[in-house]
Structure 1
Amino acid sequence: MNELLFEIGTEEIPAGYIQPALAFMEQACAARFSELGLESGPIHTVGTPRRLTLCVEDLQSRQPDRRVEHIGPSKKAGFDADGNPTKAAMGFARSRGVAVEDLQVVETPKGPYLMAVEHVQGRETIELLPEILEGLIRSMVFPKSMRWANTSLAFARPIQWLLALYDGQVVEFEVEDTVSGNTTRGHRFMAPESFVVTGFAQYQERLQEHSVLVDPQKRRRQVISEVKQAVAGRTSEGEPVLHEGLVDTVTNLVEIPWGVCGSFDEKFLELPDEALITSMREHQKYFPVQDRNGCLMPLFVAVNNTRIEDRDLAVAGHERVLRARLEDGLFFFNEDKKTPLARRIDALEGIIFQQKLGSMKEKSARIARLAGMLARELAPDLEEDAVRAAWLCKADLLTEMVGEFPSLQGVMGREYALLDGEKPEVALAIHEHYLPLRAGGELPTTLLGAIVGIADRIDTLTGCFAIGEKPTGNTDPFGLRRQALGLLHIISGLNISLSLKAIVGYALKGYGELLGHEPDEKIVDEVLRFIRLRFTNDLVASGTRSEVVEAATSVGFDDVVDCLARIRALDGIRSQEEFTVLAGSFKRIRNIIKDNTETAVDPDMFVEEAEKELYQVLQEVQEAVGPLLEKREYKASLRAMLRMKEPVDRFFDQVMVMAEDPAVRQNRLNLLTALGQLVLQVGDISKMHVEG
């Protein structure tokens, strides 16, 4: 069967490390097999907190013989004027184990070079596997690794055993005094003994017999089942809140799940739902329970890693731990309510936003200024509420609840604002200005929340670029890429038409003397280029063709909503044959007119019928397209422009643009420039032309 089974047995690995480690094992093995010329069937990975396991089906039993070509020095460097080999040629031949007379001369893009052909005899797979598997262990990277005893190996947790079988035979190797074998271990407490393994199917069956569900998907389903059963055993009125992230975490905290349902004092329901859920989920990994109306009940579910013999005792232990957490949360909540958000604003002076960009109080003032400007442009009746929400949006950073649970920033701001008597719209905007929290996350539901969120992100982007704190390579300490994507998703998701250049310029002026220099228009351009790059990458990653995005953004990106409308129009028409031909002609037009910007055309100077016809059609299209462009009906505009395809073809067939008469030549250039400027109001379609 030629099956490879490899298990790394360890101490308990953190839950968040397991899936990335399994993905690495699969990818690294596939790459290594390909490098060695070994073919294989499907590669599977499974794992628990105590094991990372790889299974490869139908792994080729022997490496094929290979012909490897090695390029050496150039022919000029390898042979002298008389054709005798130089030291360079002899050294190259010797390094490759061939005679110098066996060297070949091959043509490369750089000219003739020497080549040595090496015939490599394939090795048995069982001989290659020790090096492959040890290399896999040593190359694995974790967010945090550790060394133990006197070992030099860094790994997530100490390695306790190694299982390595190929075609039922032990792959013999050793890593830091741990020798591979044919045994694995069951559940640490419920079935700790070792047992012999013969293959992957038997491995999974025997582990289940020893209280280990090694398949993460199967274990995940069992976690959900246990949680639901635990609630059903306690009440028929409730159901668990199955947060996907928590289910994933719990799945990788246990080798086999056992759920129990406990309760807590109803007084804790006074806490906001998010605070109560976060307290259970983040610290204790407990699942909340809600009734049929979606209201939280004073119940929770804990998932254990061992079978529960005395459920009452287990439940009491979980309840005692959770009670302490909830008492803290309720105390923080009650203390926070004593100080309204508005009275916390001055204290924001003590929180530094960025050393060169001032305090959070100064940032709040800038956000308020920007939010007011945006509201005046988008919805003047919201200006007062936008400024109020912006002033208050960071005040909850000083609360005890946010200090304990940073993920509740904005959420607690909303709750405290409501308790303070602020308008519900203002309270909701305080929460929503943080949205989206991640790519693809929930967007603000209100324009007020969107305005404050846009102002916050623009302020951060502009300030960081102004002081030179730009993302480089893999470093982005202020999360500016995420900030830009969030900004774009808010604008596009809520269809908010605004001038990015205007608001970035306004934001830059808002920093005043804090920057130590006058506002520089180059900074505005840099911020816009950065946002545009995020916009382009995001669209291309989601499936939009890059040339379509480039065609639209290259002629204008100031208004994201407008740019998206032009992209959709261009993408919808690009497959039409007439458009493909027009795009090719437009590319020719762009090359001919170059830097000409004049569009004044004198019909009396036309000589050829083709140029008269093109001018006539251009005037008709301009008249038809003008109102469509004003309404941003770009699809209809492009369809109207397709009328110019045949007149343009005839123009190029029958008219010499670069006529000897300078006046005639300029008139024809102006005609083409006018045509080009019409098309450029939608996009530079020359970028969508593909040479045949």
Structure 2
Amino acid sequence: MTDLLFEIGTEEIPASYITPALNQMKALFTERAKKHRLEVQSLYCTGTPRRLTLFVRGLPQRQESVTEEVQGPAASIAFDKTGNPTKAGLGFAKSQGVDIHNLQIKKTTKGEYCFAIKQAEGQETLHILPEILAEIIKGISFPKSMKWKGSNLFFARPIRSILALFGDKVVPMEINGIKADKFAFGHPFLSGKRIEISRADWDLYMQLLRQEKVVADMTERRETLRAKITHLMASHSASMDDEELLDEVTNLVEYPHAVECSFDEEFLDIPGDVIETAMKEHQRYFPIKKRDGNLSNKFIAVVNRDEINAQTAVQGNERVLKARLSDARFFWKEDRKLPLEKRVDDLKNLAFLEKLGNYRDRTDRIVNLSEYLSHRLIALNQLPIEADARIKRAALLCKADLLTQMVGEFPSLQGIMGREYAKWDGEEPAIATAIAEHYMPRFATDTIPASKIGAVVGLADKFDTICSCFALQLTPTGSQDPYSLRRHAYGIIRIIEECEFTLEIQEVLSRAFSLLPLFLKKPERNHHQAAQDKHMQGIKDFFRDRLFQINIERGHRHDLINAVLNTGAGFNDIHDFSQRLQALSCVSKECWWPDLVTVVERTFNIGKKATSIGSVEEHLFTEPEERKLWDIYKKNKDTVQNHVTEKRYEEACRAYYEVFARTVHSFFDKVYVNVEDESVRNNRLLLVKTINELYSEKIADLSHMEMSGNKNQAS
């Protein structure tokens, strides 16, 4: 067995491109090796900004030889009655590259057929690798690629060298005028040397690169940086807590080193969020915080230099940050000269989406929808009445900071700067906080708004965004979601769940659509109700899919999720949906769960045949078991319904099981439902349907549950 070492040397690749590219390299080689019948013992990929490396341990010297059996025409067609080959037989033999006399006749289920037996001799792996490695280079995709030298090859950055060794032999390949050889290159500033790699040996490769100031292994670079950053922070009683930033800076350097820098303390009068954003997002620095959580004037920079050259890097990074913070201080000073309230009307100069007006129009919609939600929640005692005015004020000001110079320079601070400027303007703290919170959650692991004022404004903002995009058919497709509608839906679901809001999604969507310019009712034009209904159904389907995916990720069974989604109550009330799903997940672990499923499923399958509507008619009962079942239903209906009304869904499930599990089965054992008398038959079907709907319309539709083993055993 022989090892393969393959390195694509490039100009500096963006940090975010490297890990996805390495994952693709691994997948592409695995796929191509399987296609070419090459067994692989192990495979490892790593990279730096200037190289993507693949190391394969244990490749065979040759492909495995195989015998291929190809079925041809029927024997009666390939040969005539005298045994001589026909044109069909000769043509098949020629197409397979075998002599007509070497065709074999075998019996199949369809009769006797001709088969060509071909021996495929294994080729030398060294002669197969050029094709595989070239396909890997061409097959890696990037968010943005470059084209150079007038060729048709696209890559993240221009390729400058290819190292390809199979054992001690160079793989004979060439792409875009670059021939593979046995050379790699050291650090561009600390070495610059061309390094000869004599054989495909991972340890040797790593050692020779390390001598030339390149730490090729990504994990080693990350842990080296972690140790150095942690050591520097420890002297300030601080700790490194940004793993995402650590991953990014790991792929910005080939020689991992970290240095402590500082900036003038006078800049600390700028809001801390601004300083952190300037450090992290613009410069990839690690801020150092004091024990009280406030920023110090120290920070850590990751540099692509060794200890000898570190001081120059310190001065350079301090100079760059000073320029950034000087700009930020200027913006902070200038922006405060104009209160947020006076910026609101100027939002008319900021476009939102085509046909949906500007941000002043959008602000009016958010205010209107916030008031609507506020009034609904106040009526349900889920929001104090004094919150209404604060919600309206926060909604009015929530987008005003988009016009500030600070947000223009640091877009990720929208909302956060709105809070800071609102505080400066003298707005109530609750209103200032809500302005920042209404964007939350900003990402999957983010928290929801801590205040209900921020939660309500956030819901209004997210519902308006979703309805606006669906109205313009700007819906997510596959992996594409340019307007982050999935994140908005996720935020809506979490806010409603965690704030325990009772909201009818259908009504909220209807209100949100009615505010859009496309659907405003005007005397001089028709209101496109059909189009609105179509978009609304699309959003409901979108929310249904989001609820399913979110709860799958939370660990709920897919059949339980569908059971709750498919019930009569559906998911129109998201908080209620979540309560029912949680209850069903708990109940499904009970020993009596299979019997509950059976009774609900059986009553559904029979009751769905009912052709009449209305109430069960007692005078049509002809059997004692009918009367008994109906009396039990009337006696216990209110108990089950009260549990449902009070959201005690586990108790409702148990009560339904205890009341109907045996009585329903007894009814079916003693009463024949499908009698000839149509009125009696329909009345019995209606009785069964009524009992089923007591559960399936309010809690869950258990008619399609997946039960493991015998239904008499707990799943």
Asked if Structure 1 and Structure 2 have the same fold, meaning a TM-score greater than 0.5 normalized by the shorter chain, the answer is yes
CA contact (8 A) 1:458 1:504 kept: yes
Report the equivalent of 2:258.
259
Classify 1:128/1:106 alpha carbon distance in 2 versus 1 (closer, same or farther; 3 Å). farther
Once the 2 structures are TM-superposed, how far is the Cα of residue 203 of structure 1 from its aligned partner? 1.6
Match 1:666 to one of 665, 682, 707: 682
CA contact (8 A) 2:289 2:296 kept: yes
Match 1:397 to one of 395, 402, 411: 402
2: CA distance, partners of 1:345 / 1:609: 73
Classify 1:428/1:84 alpha carbon distance in 2 versus 1 (closer, same or farther; 3 Å). farther
Report the equivalent of 2:663.
647
Report the equivalent of 2:202.
200
More displaced stretch, 92-101 vs 498-507: 92-101
More displaced stretch, 625-634 vs 143-152: 143-152
Match 2:705 to one of 680, 683, 688: 688
CA contact (8 A) 1:600 1:670 kept: yes
Query: Mind listing any 5+ residue stretches in structure 2 that lack a counterpart?
Result: 378-382, 710-715
Once the 2 structures are TM-superposed, how far is the Cα of residue 663 of structure 1 from its aligned partner? 2.4
Does 1:487 find its partner at 2:458? Answer: no
Match 1:567 to one of 581, 589, 605: 581
CA contact (8 A) 1:226 1:257 kept: no
Once the 2 structures are TM-superposed, how far is the Cα of residue 3 of structure 1 from its aligned partner? 2.5
Q: Deviations over 1:394-427 (max 9, x none)?
A: 1110000100011111111111111111111111
Q: What secondary structure sits across from 1:37 in the alignment?
A: coil
Classify 1:7/1:626 alpha carbon distance in 2 versus 1 (closer, same or farther; 3 Å). same
Does 1:371 find its partner at 2:387? Answer: no
Q: What secondary structure sits across from 1:345 in the alignment?
A: helix
CA contact (8 A) 1:257 1:304 kept: yes
Q: Which amino acid aligns with 1:499?
A: E
Match 1:225 to one of 217, 227, 242: 227
CA contact (8 A) 1:240 1:288 kept: no
More displaced stretch, 678-687 vs 75-84: 75-84
More displaced stretch, 621-630 vs 402-411: 621-630
Once the 2 structures are TM-superposed, how far is the Cα of residue 239 of structure 1 from its aligned partner? 3.2
Q: What secondary structure sits across from 1:443 in the alignment?
A: coil
Once the 2 structures are TM-superposed, how far is the Cα of residue 689 of structure 1 from its aligned partner? 4.3
More displaced stretch, 34-43 vs 601-610: 601-610
Classify 1:277/1:600 alpha carbon distance in 2 versus 1 (closer, same or farther; 3 Å). same
Q: Deviations over 1:601-659 (max 9, x none)?
A: 34454444544444344344424312211111111211222232233333333322111
Q: What secondary structure sits across from 1:57 in the alignment?
A: strand
Report the equivalent of 1:466.
471
CA contact (8 A) 1:106 1:115 kept: no
CA contact (8 A) 1:2 1:58 kept: yes
Q: Deviations over 1:46-70 (max 9, x none)?
A: 1111111112233344433445576
2: CA distance, partners of 1:284 / 1:486: 29
CA contact (8 A) 1:241 1:288 kept: no
Once the 2 structures are TM-superposed, how far is the Cα of residue 582 of structure 1 from its aligned partner? 4.3
CA contact (8 A) 1:103 1:116 kept: no
Alignment of 1:271-350 (within 5 A): 271-309=270-308, 311-350=310-349
CA contact (8 A) 2:519 2:528 kept: no
Report the equivalent of 2:550.
538
Q: What secondary structure sits across from 1:688 in the alignment?
A: coil
Q: Which amino acid aligns with 1:449?
A: G
Report the equivalent of 1:557.
571
More displaced stretch, 479-488 vs 86-95: 86-95
Q: What secondary structure sits across from 1:476 in the alignment?
A: coil
More displaced stretch, 539-548 vs 85-94: 85-94
2: CA distance, partners of 1:175 / 1:531: 48
1: CA distance, partners of 2:606 / 2:87: 55
CA contact (8 A) 2:79 2:89 kept: no
1: CA distance, partners of 2:661 / 2:495: 38
Does 1:29 find its partner at 2:41? Answer: no
More displaced stretch, 613-622 vs 451-460: 613-622
Classify 1:689/1:320 alpha carbon distance in 2 versus 1 (closer, same or farther; 3 Å). closer
Q: Which amino acid aligns with 1:567?
A: L
Q: Deviations over 1:426-448 (max 9, x none)?
A: 11111111111122323211211
Q: Percent same amino acid at aligned positions? A: 39
Q: TM-score, normalised by structure 2?
A: 0.88
More displaced stretch, 524-533 vs 546-555: 524-533
Alignment length, in residue pairs? 686
Match 2:613 to one of 598, 602, 606: 598
2: CA distance, partners of 1:601 / 1:617: 14
CA contact (8 A) 1:105 1:114 kept: no
2: CA distance, partners of 1:316 / 1:351: 40
Q: Which amino acid aligns with 2:633?
A: L
Q: What secondary structure sits across from 2:396 in the alignment?
A: helix
Q: Which amino acid aligns with 1:195?
A: E
Does 1:64 find its partner at 2:64? Answer: yes
Does 1:451 find its partner at 2:456? Answer: yes
2: CA distance, partners of 1:70 / 1:566: 57
CA contact (8 A) 1:184 1:197 kept: no
Classify 1:458/1:334 alpha carbon distance in 2 versus 1 (closer, same or farther; 3 Å). same
CA contact (8 A) 2:609 2:685 kept: no
2: CA distance, partners of 1:129 / 1:621: 75
Classify 1:103/1:541 alpha carbon distance in 2 versus 1 (closer, same or farther; 3 Å). farther
Once the 2 structures are TM-superposed, how far is the Cα of residue 484 of structure 1 from its aligned partner? 1.6
More displaced stretch, 484-493 vs 361-370: 484-493
1: CA distance, partners of 2:407 / 2:449: 21
More displaced stretch, 221-230 vs 447-456: 221-230
Classify 1:253/1:642 alpha carbon distance in 2 versus 1 (closer, same or farther; 3 Å). same
CA contact (8 A) 1:371 1:390 kept: yes
Q: What secondary structure sits across from 1:301 in the alignment?
A: strand
CA contact (8 A) 1:160 1:178 kept: yes
Q: Deviations over 1:7-37 (max 9, x none)?
A: 1122211111111111111122222223333
More displaced stretch, 59-68 vs 462-471: 59-68
Report the equivalent of 2:13.
13
Once the 2 structures are TM-superposed, how far is the Cα of residue 112 of structure 1 from its aligned partner? 13
2: CA distance, partners of 1:84 / 1:476: 65
Q: What secondary structure sits across from 2:293 in the alignment?
A: coil
CA contact (8 A) 1:598 1:673 kept: no
Q: Which amino acid aligns with 1:436?
A: P
Report the equivalent of 1:209.
211
1: CA distance, partners of 2:86 / 2:427: 87
Classify 1:102/1:603 alpha carbon distance in 2 versus 1 (closer, same or farther; 3 Å). farther
Q: What secondary structure sits across from 2:189 in the alignment?
A: coil
2: CA distance, partners of 1:484 / 1:99: 66
Report the equivalent of 2:713.
none
More displaced stretch, 315-324 vs 677-686: 315-324
Report the equivalent of 1:618.
633
The alignment yields a C-alpha RMSD, in angstroms, of 3.2
CA contact (8 A) 1:573 1:579 kept: yes
Q: Deviations over 1:359-380 (max 9, x none)?
A: 1111111111111111122213
Classify 1:323/1:588 alpha carbon distance in 2 versus 1 (closer, same or farther; 3 Å). same
Query: Mind listing any 5+ residue stretches in structure 1 that lack a counterpart?
Result: none
Classify 1:303/1:361 alpha carbon distance in 2 versus 1 (closer, same or farther; 3 Å). same
More displaced stretch, 475-484 vs 552-561: 475-484
More displaced stretch, 327-336 vs 514-523: 514-523
More displaced stretch, 562-571 vs 404-413: 562-571
Alignment of 1:577-596 (within 5 A): 578-594=592-608, 596=610
Q: Which amino acid aligns with 2:418?
A: G
Q: TM-score, normalised by structure 1?
A: 0.91
Classify 1:327/1:656 alpha carbon distance in 2 versus 1 (closer, same or farther; 3 Å). same
Match 2:692 to one of 655, 676, 688: 676
Once the 2 structures are TM-superposed, how far is the Cα of residue 224 of structure 1 from its aligned partner? 2.4
More displaced stretch, 113-122 vs 431-440: 113-122
Classify 1:65/1:280 alpha carbon distance in 2 versus 1 (closer, same or farther; 3 Å). same
Q: What secondary structure sits across from 1:338 in the alignment?
A: coil
Report the equivalent of 2:712.
none
